[in-house]
Structure 1
Amino acid sequence: MSLAGRIVYQTWHRPAGYVRSVLAAGGPLEVWRTARGRAAMEAAARTLPALPPAAGAPVELHLLTGRRFWYQTAFCLWTFARHAQRPLAPVIYDDGSLAGEFRAPLLRLFPAARFVERADAIARLDAHLPAARFPVLRERWLNYPNLRKLLDPHVGRSGWKLVIDSDLLFFRRPDFILAWADAPDRPLHAVDCETSYGYSRGLMDALAGAPVADRVNVGLTGLDGAALDWEKLERWTATLHAREGTSYYLEQALIAMLVAGRDCAIASAADYVTCPRPPEADRCAAVMHHYVADSKPWYFRHNWRRAQS
């Protein structure tokens, strides 16, 4: 972006975008209430009680987090473990900002947690996805953090891994996830509240070689690293960018293309709810909520408290 372009962005587009987001959230008072709830949630994450020892094989969950999201990671894992009544062995990928003060509460709750340093992730990328051969994936890894949820757990590794987002809360036993984790045999994904890929379906279908399903959501994603064709993912990403530009939903689009035409384990949309709205956002009767988009106020103001109590 040119200097003039940056000045226009900082002095007009960015402030205008902020004003629009405040108005969409219901005004300054509603934004303040959500921010206050977020701060209370972060404070509460430091005092979550340790759960009693659980029996059974540990469940391995993979999450990307950092200083902005560690407390959401804590609540996600804590509510999962509380209802699953199984030991957890989380694998947590540091986005580069997860200092010791943010790791300590996670380790207190989950002593078996393993942290993957950003430097270690880069070293693995250099070994298996060198920038000279995979320039687009490597550029996106640097500038589009969501792609790390696809690359970091799987590059240079084989075997099934369940990658989950941090902004999840669990209210009942996640039997579907536990069954898959104990015997994974096909890809797993959740169901979105609407189809959000950021790219035209014609282009996605043509690249995938099969019709891409509607409403694939990657808040829960189970994939086998050995089955991932990184050369193909590089071509797909390069083509999507060249023809239709960048998109916040690139990671979701790529995974939807990866599972196109395949038999998948699909989380029930009624039990594993993406973007809960009333009455479910108030009742919390489902197994899980994934708090995206305009469901954040319920997450930060109310439902972490309900999940804790």
Structure 2
Amino acid sequence: MIFNFHIIYRQYIRQLAKQWGLGAIAYKLYYAPKSFLEKISRQGSINIAIDYLSRLQMEAAADKLPTVAVQTSALSLDIYFLSGRKFWYQTCFCAYSMQQHTNLILRPIIYDDSSLDQQYQKKIKRIFPHAEIILLSEVEERLEQYLPQSKFPYLRERRLNYPNLKKLTDIHIGSQGWKLVLDSDMLFFHPPDLLIEWLKSPQQPCHMVDVETSYGYSQSLMSSLAQAEIPERLNVGICGLKSENIDWEKLEYWCKKMIEQQGTHYYQEQALIAMLMSSQPCTVAPATDYVVLPNQAEVIQPKVVLHHYVSESKSWYFRYGWKHIISSM
């Protein structure tokens, strides 16, 4: 197969420009070439091209997922996502794969990450007619009421410039009850009994286990702020929290001190949640069944309950992972 790298490069750059919302001139002159060349150096141009085309194939396949038939009177269990233009199809595959492995009705509640345009809302609702979509306008009203800029400047700034934090702020602010928030880049291959039982009767926070401790901040700083021992290897691809138990003033203080002392970091959301969970018992999805960073062999022939496709495993996700969901329909 011969790849037109010039076309793929232009499409890749155009997509990144939209995602990052950067000025066209600055992006073309610096950020886009730098980012793309670094990625080529890590992965190689042929692998980038294969992954790109595989991702397009996955997105097209999401448009053909069958509609989930739901009785309106049936009891449902809610699962929560933050999603948008870049992730809508991954969200659908994750929720669909989980639904495949339970007789209970799972209702996706999907929060707009600011890019969930109407066309993507329609795609989601075609697959999940019972899904609830929370638009950005509704979230912003809650933020103004419960997390005003004047009182929470650090959380509000990080939310705008660090979208991962929206999985915490947007989904939980001004809300009540337990919520299981799932990352979109995950797939289920066997019944997730532990998560189903948690959804039926949540009693304590829930998380999964990372391949290594990835918080971006020192254990000493995190422990001193939280006044507790910080659990190692906590991963928030699966994250169950009770909304009204979140102390937003404490989170604002932590966020401020972390940035003042050690700067900002990509894993700050994971660090903050590890601190929130540090002082209480948790339901932990075992790493033997809920796997972060599955290897190629495992993705080609899944044996575990769930894969969370981070880092290099995204290649296997786009090339092989989602195809199992199609073949098992």
Cα distance change on mapping 1:130 and 1:52 into 2, 3 Å: closer
Q: 1:50 aligns with which of 50, 63, 67?
A: 67
- Determine the C-alpha separation between the residues in 1 that align with 2:171 and 2:26: 39
- Determine the C-alpha separation between the residues in 1 that align with 2:298 and 2:152: 43
Q: 2:90 aligns with which of 65, 72, 77?
A: 72
1:139 is aligned to 157
- Determine the C-alpha separation between the residues in 1 that align with 2:306 and 2:255: 31
1:40 is aligned to 57
Alignment root-mean-square deviation, CA: 1.9
Cα distance change on mapping 1:24 and 1:230 into 2, 3 Å: same
Cα distance change on mapping 1:12 and 1:109 into 2, 3 Å: closer
Q: Quick one: which amino acid aligns to residue 244 of structure 1?
A: Q
- Determine the C-alpha separation between the residues in 1 that align with 2:63 and 2:270: 31
2:279 is aligned to 261
Question: How many residues were matched structurally?
Answer: 303
- Determine the C-alpha separation between the residues in 2 that align with 1:52 and 1:68: 26
Q: 2:104 aligns with which of 86, 92, 98?
A: 86
* Alpha-carbon offset, residue 51 of structure 1: 3.8
1:29 is aligned to 46
Secondary structure of 2:105's counterpart equals: coil
Task: Give the TM-score normalised by structure 1.
Answer: 0.93
Q: 1:99 aligns with which of 117, 132, 146?
A: 117
2:204 is aligned to 186
* Alpha-carbon offset, residue 105 of structure 1: 2.0
1:115 is aligned to 133
2:7 is aligned to none
Q: Quick one: which amino acid aligns to residue 47 of structure 1?
A: K
* Alpha-carbon offset, residue 142 of structure 1: 1.1
* Alpha-carbon offset, residue 155 of structure 1: 0.9
- Confirm or deny: 8 A CA contact 1:88 1:112 kept in the other structure: no
Relative CO higher for 1 or 2, CA cutoff 8 Å, sep ≥ 6? 1
After the TM superposition, which of the residue ranges 230-239 and 53-62 deviates more from structure 2? 53-62
Q: Quick one: which amino acid aligns to residue 50 of structure 1?
A: T
- Determine the C-alpha separation between the residues in 2 that align with 1:50 and 1:11: 44
1:216 is aligned to 234
Q: Quick one: which amino acid aligns to residue 242 of structure 1?
A: E
1:199 is aligned to 217
Cα distance change on mapping 1:198 and 1:10 into 2, 3 Å: farther
Deviations 1:25-46, CA, capped at 9 Å, x for gaps: 2x10010000010000000000
Cα distance change on mapping 1:10 and 1:204 into 2, 3 Å: farther
- Confirm or deny: 8 A CA contact 2:229 2:279 kept in the other structure: yes
Q: Structure 1: where are the runs of 5+ without partners?
A: 1-6
Cα distance change on mapping 1:15 and 1:225 into 2, 3 Å: same
- Determine the C-alpha separation between the residues in 2 that align with 1:52 and 1:227: 35
Secondary structure of 1:252's counterpart equals: helix
Cα distance change on mapping 1:230 and 1:153 into 2, 3 Å: same
